[in-house]
């Protein structure tokens, strides 16, 4: 399960970077739904949190994405399950993918629609929320939402903004401003 969780970080990263942030000819729905619509509605400022109730539909992926992604991500495990004559390997991978996808959708929902949930007060959620906020500031960085292992290894990890920006306020949004301004003066912490 740990190996599959690590692999899922790379799958999430690749899907986010190469499918959701690049148009693929006739199959440009994921790009339009995410990079064009979602990023236009939810920016790294006060609009990072839901403002218009009608925009709730743009937070999660389309309903059919989950089953399709779970099946596609599990296909590479079929030969392994066949060789081992153990289909529990395949079902384990499919279950791991479903769990990862569910965590992705829930965390992403909570990031853009905060409600002071217990999870939103955790250190881990705050770190992931700051990570995702920076993705909305720099669309070609921080592609992981759940587990930024792939961002770290593939060079797309950003932990602080390069320049100061008007980020949203809230207890679950950590301060990701630069540690120092260009003048060398410290930037006051919000947290």
pLDDT digit string, tens, across residues 53-104: 999 999 998 888 888 888 888 888 889 889 999 989 888 888 988 999 999 9
Question: Measured between alpha carbons, how far is 177 from 23 in angstroms, rounded to an integer?
Answer: 31
pTM of this structure: 0.87
Q: Which helix (H) or strand (E) holds 72?
A: helix 65-74
The secondary structure of residue 186, as a DSSP letter, is: B
Which is nearest to 179 in space by CA: 158, 153, 160? Answer: 160
How many C-beta neighbours within 10 Å does residue 155 have? 7
Which is nearest to 142 in space by CA: 162, 116, 117? Answer: 162
Average pLDDT of the chain, as a whole number: 90
Q: Are 107 and 124 in contact (CB under 8 A)?
A: no
Give the residue extent of every domain in the chain: 2-154
Judged by DSSP in three states, 180 sits in strand
Q: Are 148 and 28 in contact (CB under 8 A)?
A: no
DSSP states along 82-146: HHHT-HHHHHHHHHHHHHHHHHHHHHHHHHHS----TGGGSHHHHHHHHHHHHHHHSTTS---SS
Question: Measured between alpha carbons, how far is 129 from 111 in angstroms, rounded to an integer?
Answer: 6
| Position 182 pLDDT exceeds 80 | no
- φ, ψ of residue 27 to 5 degrees: the values are -95, 70
Q: Please report the pLDDT score of residue 117 as a whole number.
A: 93
Q: Please report the pLDDT score of residue 181 as a whole number.
A: 57
| Position 187 pLDDT exceeds 50 | no
Q: Please report the pLDDT score of residue 1 as a whole number.
A: 65
């Amino acid at each position: 399960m740990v190996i599959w969780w690590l692999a899922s970080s790379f799958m999430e990263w690749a899907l986010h970077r190469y499918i959701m942030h690049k148009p693929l000819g006739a199959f440009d729905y994921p790009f339009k739904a995410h990079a064009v619509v979602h990023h236009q509605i939810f920016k790294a400022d006060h609009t990072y949190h839901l403002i218009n109730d009608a925009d709730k539909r743009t937070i999660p992926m389309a309903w059919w994405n989950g089953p399709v992604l779970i099946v596609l991500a599990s296909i590479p495990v079929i030969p392994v399950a066949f060789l081992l004559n153990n289909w529990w390997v395949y079902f384990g991978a499919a279950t791991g993918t479903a769990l990862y996808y569910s965590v992705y959708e829930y965390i992403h929902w909570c990031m853009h629609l905060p409600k002071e949930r217990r999870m939103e007060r955790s250190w881990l959620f705050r770190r992931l929320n700051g990570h995702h906020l920076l993705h909305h500031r720099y669309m070609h960085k921080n592609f992981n939402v759940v587990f930024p292992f792939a961002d770290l290894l593939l060079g797309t990890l950003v932990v602080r903004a390069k320049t100061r920006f008007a980020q949203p306020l809230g207890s679950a949004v950590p301060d990701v401003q630069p540690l120092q301004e260009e003048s060398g003066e410290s930037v006051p912490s919000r947290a």
